[in-house]
Amino acid sequence: MATNFSIVSLLLIVLYLFASNVKAQRNIAIATQNKIAYFDITRYGARPGNADASQALINAWKDACASVYPSRLVIPKGLYTLRPVKLLGPCKNRVRVEVAGNFQAPVNPAQFGGADAWVKIERVDSLTFTGVYGGGFFDGNGEIAWKQNDCKGTGTCMSLPYNFRFNYLTNSVIAHISSVDSKLFHINIFGCKNLTLLEMKITAPRTSLNTDGIHIGRSDGVYIIGGTIRTGDDCVSVGDGTKNLHVEKVTCGPGHGISVGSLGRYLNEESVVGVYVKNCTLVNSDNGVRIKTWLNSYQAVASELHFEDIIMDNVTNPVILDQTYCVYNQCKARVFKRIRGTSASKVAIRMVCSRNVPCQQVVIGDINLKYNGIDGPAVSECGNVNPTIIGQINPSPCTKRVSDTA
């Protein structure tokens, strides 16, 4: 009897403790529902005035990422130097990084110790990484690196660090960040899902080598909205495995323009499905929108590519479909609509497909491109393609037939 009693009372005590614990937890959760935990890098030893903020940023990130409450990582105004850093998830809750300060990268590529990025952010869900109060400049100090990057001479490009690599981010926003003079590509997006890049400013001289603005690969649902990209290479380049990419209201140029590819260089590349470029302006760039696949490429699938409401301002090759080989005829549905402005070369529209597998489902509609030069009007060249025409096309479609080289 006595034993039974003590067992029952023990059970009651355990039950009571359990219940009150649950209640206490719920109380904390309610009390902190609107609470945000702040982590300021100057509390972690960072000092504006060009001092190295690397360790402070990493430590502040670790605490922000480990916070059970939504956190705000604050980088106050001022200039900081930064060695290569990795900000890694997964995090316990949402993290918002507010960058009012500006950062300088080491000038000498050797100081990167082989790191492939200056700032790498990986495996974070619900991240916001934003410039605030006019700050958020990340100067990659690429001048020396560009001189060392002898692609043409050596056939291979030095593996220099990118300014940013965003890997496996989900449901996240990168906004109002200025990426300046990266040593190689500015921003690489890999393995991301539902990532928005809002009002980004990317700049490098037009003579700088391989300073692509934003490269996307193996990602689903990337939105690049607003902003300007002026570089020495592609403005936006689309690699294999890109799905549902939206580029809207972006101004590009100088640089090589917006390009899909090169696809088909390697075996087992994933398809590109759904690229929607809308309301963009291209200025003084080499290409407008370009689709390139390798000659004799592996199976490269690129479908649902739409380029609409694009303004070209002195662009060398405004519309260029450079698809000389496309096996199994799986490169489907390319639409170029409402494209107007000026071409810096006579050939304003060039579409050259493979003789063996002609291009199908190419639609061009409402195009008005004028040649900037004085030696006659703009022309358009076609090879192995009979585009569907909608509305007015100037220059007239396929004024010149050309043959492919395959």
Ligand X SMILES: *[C@@H]1O[C@H](CO)[C@@H](O)[C@H](O)[C@H]1NC(C)=O
Question: Could you list the residues that contact ligand X (CB under 6 A)?
Answer: 126, 171-173, 194, 249, 279, 284, 309, 314, 316, 338, 344
Q: Which is nearer to ligand X, 92 or 249 (CB)?
A: 249
CB of 194 to ligand X, least distance (A): 4
Nearest-angstrom CA–CA distance, 206 and 196: 26
CB of 300 to ligand X, least distance (A): 28
Q: Which is nearer to ligand X, 63 or 309 (CB)?
A: 309
Nearest-angstrom CA–CA distance, 276 and 236: 12
Quick count: other Cβ atoms within 10 Å of Cβ 165? 21
CA 116, 233, 196, 199: dihedral to nearest 10 degrees? 120
CB of 394 to ligand X, least distance (A): 16
For residue 296, which of 359, 354, 383 has the smallest C-alpha distance? 354
Q: Which is nearer to ligand X, 117 or 197 (CB)?
A: 197
Nearest-angstrom CA–CA distance, 301 and 306: 15
Q: Which is nearer to ligand X, 126 or 303 (CB)?
A: 126
Q: Which is nearer to ligand X, 62 or 340 (CB)?
A: 340
Cβ(404)–Cβ(379) below 8 Å = no
DSSP 376-389: S--EEEEESB--EE
CB of 311 to ligand X, least distance (A): 7
CB of 248 to ligand X, least distance (A): 8
Nearest-angstrom CA–CA distance, 277 and 337: 10
306 counts as catalytic: no
Catalytic residue among 176, 186, 215, 256: 256
Question: Which residues does the annotation mark as catalytic?
Answer: 256
